[in-house]
Amino acid sequence: FQVVHSLGGGTGSGMGALLLSNIREEYGDRIISTYSILPSAKVSETVVEPYNAVLSIHKLIETTDETFLIDNEALHEICTGTLKLVKPSYGDTNYLVAICMAGVTTCLRYPGQLNADLRKIMVNMVPFPRLHFFAPGYAPLVSKGSAAYRPINVPELTRQMFDAKSMLLYCDPTKGRFLTVAAIFRGRMSTK
């Protein structure tokens, strides 16, 4: 199962937690993967969003197998800073979430050198059952006007992927340690 929900509002956090609990109860042997959108004070001024997020994260620890955390502030920064959008819409930020999901699930849809399903990703990425929270990054992030004029190779894609400006969660991956990392490339690439 794949569930996309926001942790800031009552529906995504409260109803989402109930839905995930029911799915876990009814389909205990299935993989539950969520794309959970974290609130940001810079994007929304709703006072209860942080409380909703904190209270619903506990349910994510208990009921999901993989949780991809995506931050509204990081999405907004990518849209305004990297993609040079003056006033990003929900469609623009939703597009970033969609390409993240497409990247994670590409191995389910296309043949490749190292194909994996959601279960294999979970087995390789989750060292301890309660530590199943991922910080996704995406590359290349280029504005629509310059996409056709910039060829990118694998080392450059990898560098961009670990750049703080490419992270869909507001963090700097160069200032920390990783327990596990997965890099999923699409297109004509070689691991050699």
Evaluate whether residue 33 is within a structural domain. yes
Whether the CB-CB separation of 168 and 141 falls below 8 Å is answered with: no
What would the pLDDT profile of 177-186 be if each residue is shown by its tens digit? 888 888 887 7
Q: What is the pLDDT of residue 183?
A: 81
* pLDDT at res. 186: 76
Tell me if 192 is assigned to some domain. no
Cα distance between residue 143 and residue 171, in whole Å = 22
Domain-embedded: residue 190: no
Find the mean pLDDT for residues 162-166: 89
- Give me the chain's average pLDDT, please: 86
Mean pLDDT value of segment 149-161: 81
Residue 113's pLDDT is 64
Query: What integer pLDDT is reported at residue 64 of this predicted model?
Result: 94
Q: Is residue 148 part of a domain?
A: yes
- pLDDT tens-digit profile of 78-135? 999 888 888 988 899 999 999 889 888 887 787 766 667 788 888 888 888 899 999 9
Does pTM top 0.95 for this prediction?
no
The CATH number of residue 37's host domain is 3.40.50.1440
24 found inside a domain: yes
Give the span between the Cα atoms of 60 and 39, in whole angstroms.
Answer: 16
Residue 22 is predicted with a pLDDT of: 96
Instruction: For residue 51, tell me if it sits in a domain.
Output: yes
Residue 132: its pLDDT value, please?
92
Q: What is the pLDDT of residues 38-69, one digit of tens each?
A: 998 777 778 888 888 998 999 999 999 999 99
pLDDT band at 74 (very low <50, low <70, confident <90, very high): very high
Domain count, the chain: 1
Helix 16-26 × helix 49-63 angle, to 10°: 10
> Which residue range is the domain that position 9 belongs to?
2-175
pLDDT at position 191 is 60
Quote the pLDDT of residue 127. 87
Determine, yes or no, domain membership for 188: no
Flag whether 129 is in a domain: yes
